Structure 1
Amino acid sequence: MAEQKPSNFQQAITGEWHGLPSVFDVDGSHTGFNKVNRASVFEGDKVTYWMETDFQNSGPLRNRFDTAGARFEFGVIDSDQDRVYCGPDFMGAGRPYGLLVDSNYYSPGWNTDLRTVNLIIPERGIQVYSSQLFEADTLVAVFNGLYVVTQDHDNNVDEQNMVREFLENEQKAAKKPFILPVKESGQWRGTLQVHDDKQQHIGETEVIIDYRPLTLRSAEMTVTMKGAIERRFTYRRSRVDNVHTFEGPDVYGNGRAYGRYLWSIQHFYGEAFKLKSRDTLIDDNHSLCSVWQFYQSNKEQYTVFGLMEWTPTDTVLGAQYVR
């Protein structure tokens, strides 16, 4: 019998991951944190996923999600097509796309259906994580945050110090809202990976987002994609608190932010084409980690993801004077 090998995603997540995901209520209010250590361990004929949590939270969500120190541990059927979660803590599956896995599963202990997206950004040494938690189609909470990985945390003082400093920074940064530059125009640029509806990597698309504030709460954006996907579209976007609106002329839709993370749905005008996105501001330089899923005729067509860096150009909403 041929030796079983770990899937590509299983290889990419080797090690112990450390994070301090934020916990948000349905309106987007930050209610606390959940300190997490977790790993997916490949042992030849089986894969075991374990997770240790410390739910540092207040209010009604604590009663629902605090596990009183119980360790999550569940089996995984590992493959490059599907990662199937076999319980007892989670039942469902994840769909891998290279360094991304898009999962949907059920938690009996939390009585929630989860949509979890994990994307590894190797150049930053982080994993960008989020979970939306539902009762059927009704959202009840959101978890999100960044993770770093270690290979010998228990015995390596340098790794322990790195994790401690990272978690301290996460505690400060995780509550920051998703707000794009208020007064400066500029560009985001990046190379995003493109997978088709069969999860096959079909290439890259170079993305440029030209951004220009119009008011303190609105801006015009033009997105240009070249490569595996060729698209150009312009829209005005506005924000009221954590609710974002996309107002044409090329796309229309809305979104809601939970801390640094924005989920949105954008419909392309005059086409049976739409975009479901999760965008994350991962640092104070407005670096944007994006997961974009395009749908044609309500069917998945492309899954696109990667990192885009921000370059400011000039201040367009400077001081005003009356002479």
Structure 2
Amino acid sequence: MSENKPSKFQQAITGEWHGLPSVFDADGSHTGFNKVNRSSVFEGDKTTYWMETNFQNSGPLRNRFDTAGAKFEFGVIDSDKDRVYCGPDFMGSGKPYGLLVDSNYYSPGWNTDLRTVNLILPEHGLQVYSSQLFEADTLVAVFNGLYVVTQDHDTNPETQKFVENFLEQEQLDAKKPFILPVKTSGQWTGTLDVHDASQEKIGTTDVVIDYTPTSLRSATVTVTMTGAIERTFSYKRSRVDSVHSFEGPDVYGNGRAYGRYLWSTQHFYGEAFKLKSRDTLIDDKYSLCSVWQFYQSNNELYTTFGVLDWTEGENVLAARYVKD
């Protein structure tokens, strides 16, 4: 980054972003919303991040996270290698991978350590946001939701109406649970960007996920990746409420959903290899926004991300009958 040129991610997030992130407790229960307008502004030799919030919540989390109308405003050291947050609201850093930033920072006001993942989807006009909030290694809350961007919100009534409609829809969608097709088989397909541990894009991988329900809460899955990553692996997956399990033969692990967002860790059998993922259902067509991070010997190997589209197959759990 030169002195007078913003980073690639900073260029991608130009404008004012509008969202209504959901607030979940550590068990995955939806407790309310946090209405947010925010922007990261590059001016000359400095970058300033501001955020206005309206914490629409009840219970103990409100006492912890409500800012009583105070505006977040903090300096950012902006670069394509690191985005360093300089306070007073947040101190820490973010790691950019093109249109994705994976951040870890501390909030003195909330007294939490945050792991925040933001992915820009230009073709969908969305930013897919999530924050996991910790006390040391103990999860205390989760924020997540979709954002849309505007350039003229203050002056354009049509833009204001667009944002209003989006936020109304978010209020309906944000509480929906992460449940994949219950009775219908099918495929997710798409192309994910692939970055190496040095944050350099090394290509793309084409993904095909073959999915077949075996009961109302379980399915068999085969994932085929070709291109920059060449892998095929299969597993049985099941769900009990918001807890998801992956039960071999090729990967074993579990995950927990917070609304439309599922975090999971999957360990590859017989290898020092694992996958940590954040998958998000971004519409009612089962489109998945996937952020997959692969680790070799507990070291970061690949960070991959993109959208996978669902194609419906046949109903494999049709009505059953008993003959007399």
Which category describes the TM-score, using the shorter chain as reference length? over 0.9
Q: Which amino acid aligns with 2:218?
A: S
Q: Which amino acid aligns with 1:311?
A: T
Identify unmatched segments of 5+ residues in structure 2: none
Cα distance, 1:4 vs structure 2: 1.8
Cα distance, 1:269 vs structure 2: 0.2
Q: Which amino acid aligns with 1:179?
A: I
**CA displacement, residues 168-210 of structure 1 (integer Å, 9 cap, x when unaligned):** 0000000000000000000000000000000000000000000
Q: Which amino acid aligns with 1:135?
A: E
TM-score normalised to structure 1 length? 0.99
Cα distance, 1:157 vs structure 2: 1.2
Question: C-alpha separation between the residues in 1 aligned to 2:154 and 2:310?
Answer: 37
Question: C-alpha separation between the residues in 2 aligned to 1:207 and 1:132?
Answer: 27
Residue pairs, 1:90-109, within 5 angstroms: 90-109=90-109
**CA displacement, residues 268-317 of structure 1 (integer Å, 9 cap, x when unaligned):** 00000000000000011000000000000000000000000000010000
Question: C-alpha separation between the residues in 1 aligned to 2:309 and 2:97?
Answer: 22
TM-score normalised to structure 2 length? 0.99
Cα distance, 1:23 vs structure 2: 0.1
- Report the counterpart of residue 158 of structure 1 in structure 2: 158
- Report the counterpart of residue 137 of structure 1 in structure 2: 137
Residue pairs, 1:1-323, within 5 angstroms: 3-323=3-323
Which ranges of 4 or more aligned residues in structure 1 deviate by more than 3 Å? Answer: none
What SS is found at the alignment partner of 1:123?
Answer: helix
What SS is found at the alignment partner of 1:35?
Answer: strand
Question: C-alpha separation between the residues in 2 aligned to 1:195 and 1:88?
Answer: 31
**CA displacement, residues 226-265 of structure 1 (integer Å, 9 cap, x when unaligned):** 0000000000000000000000000000000000000000
Question: C-alpha separation between the residues in 2 aligned to 1:256 and 1:202?
Answer: 30
Cα distance, 1:152 vs structure 2: 1.1
Question: C-alpha separation between the residues in 2 aligned to 1:284 and 1:317?
Answer: 21
What SS is found at the alignment partner of 1:172?
Answer: helix
Cα distance, 1:3 vs structure 2: 4.9
Question: C-alpha separation between the residues in 1 aligned to 2:125 and 2:141?
Answer: 27
What SS is found at the alignment partner of 1:198?
Answer: coil
Question: C-alpha separation between the residues in 2 aligned to 1:276 and 1:219?
Answer: 20
Question: C-alpha separation between the residues in 1 aligned to 2:199 and 2:219?
Answer: 34
Question: C-alpha separation between the residues in 2 aligned to 1:238 and 1:144?
Answer: 23
Question: C-alpha separation between the residues in 1 aligned to 2:112 and 2:78?
Answer: 23
Question: C-alpha separation between the residues in 2 aligned to 1:3 and 1:172?
Answer: 43
Q: Which amino acid aligns with 1:66?
A: D
Identify unmatched segments of 5+ residues in structure 1: none
> Considering only aligned residues, what root-mean-square deviation do their CA atoms show, in Å?
0.6
Cα distance, 1:82 vs structure 2: 0.1
Question: C-alpha separation between the residues in 2 aligned to 1:298 and 1:108?
Answer: 30
Cα distance, 1:9 vs structure 2: 0.2
What SS is found at the alignment partner of 2:63?
Answer: helix
Q: Which amino acid aligns with 1:125?
A: G
